[in-house]
A = this chain, B = another copy of it.
Amino acid sequence: MLPTCVGIVGLGLIGGSLGLDLQALGVKVHGLVNRPQTANRAKERGLAQVVSTDPEILGDCEVIFIALPLEKLINPPLEIVNALPRKAVITDVGSVKAPILKVWSQLHCRFVASHPMAGNALSGVNSGQNALFKNRPWVFTPDANTDSSALEIIRKIASNLGSHCIVTNAEKHDEVVALISHLPVLISAALLRTLGSQRDPNLIKLSQDLASSGFEDTTRVGGGNPDLGTSMATYNTSAILKALSSYRWNLEQIEGAVISENWNQLNEELKYTNLIRKDYFDNSF
């Protein structure tokens, strides 16, 4: 059974999308936002039945999603923490799990660390959309002290939203997102910086004229939201440095084949990376 009343703190992409989908499942949704203007827009968009800037609206909620940016999840506003009912199940949506779990396991006995992996380039009160979580992974990172009945309640909701539920530990999660999500941002940004560091204006103009889908795809995440990239790095520093170090070593192996003009080796490398990608995305190319 789904809860009768769910609270959502923050009605941005994740929070707003949760509000739409949960209402469609017949759940009553209370949305807490920090500005009256945002509250008006959230009401217009129907992101929750009740929208307010007063944390008191969380009082009746059995389950509460804290759908705030990473910084605020790790340094949560006291007025929100104090408004959370002790009996409610609390969960978050943060993209780095170990520091959140560390903070929140001290703040609430029914906290469940979770990460719905459904982000896109959008943010803000206008970005919430239906079915954002459908067929997307939703990761849970309980520790030994996590209340298992609370975990089951959030898993059930995630399943009802169409997500694939995955349970792992926070450190493993953070190590994996460093490799598949945070590292791509930095290496993609470095590619853009490489073009930005060129000094010949004719070369720059020509590169802008000729850049096509390969460059567009490879630079997409490095040209994304700067604050999101910075906060990932701030809270997942050691895993990202480990990933970067491994990346540099792997790049050197490929560069080595080019330097030594060992084209058989380069061809083997590219056959290998072609195969690796098939383990990730079956039907690509």
Whether A223 sits at the interface, judged by CB under 8 Å, is yes
The verdict on A220 contacting B226 (CB below 8 Å), with A172-B203, A193-B254, A273-B192 known, is no
The verdict on A207 contacting B180 (CB below 8 Å), with A226-B271, A258-B233, A284-B220 known, is yes
Whether A222 sits at the interface, judged by CB under 8 Å, is yes
Residue total for A at the interface (Cβ-Cβ under 8 A)? 95
| 13 A-B pairs whose Cβ atoms sit less than 8 Å apart in the complex | A117-B210, A121-B285, A166-B210, A168-B206, A184-B214, A184-B218, A187-B251, A188-B273, A190-B251, A193-B272, A226-B273, A237-B261, A244-B255
Q: Which of A2-10, A38-46, A53-61, A274-282 contacts B (4 or more CB under 8 A)?
A: A274-282
CB distance from A70 to the nearest CB of B (A): 12
Contact B251 A186 (CB under 8 A): yes
The 8 A CB mask of A114-144 against B (1 = contact, 0 = none) is: 0001001100000000000000110100000
Contacts of A185 in B (CB 8 A): 214, 270
Q: Which of A24-32, A78-86, A194-202 contacts B (4 or more CB under 8 A)?
A: A194-202
Could you tell me the dominant secondary structure of chain A's interface residues?
helix
What residues make up the interface of A, taking CB atoms closer than 8 Å to B? Answer: 117, 120-121, 136-137, 139, 164, 166, 168, 172-173, 175-177, 179-181, 183-198, 202-203, 206-227, 229-230, 233-234, 237, 240-241, 243-244, 246-251, 253-255, 258-259, 261, 263, 266-267, 269-274, 276-281, 284-285
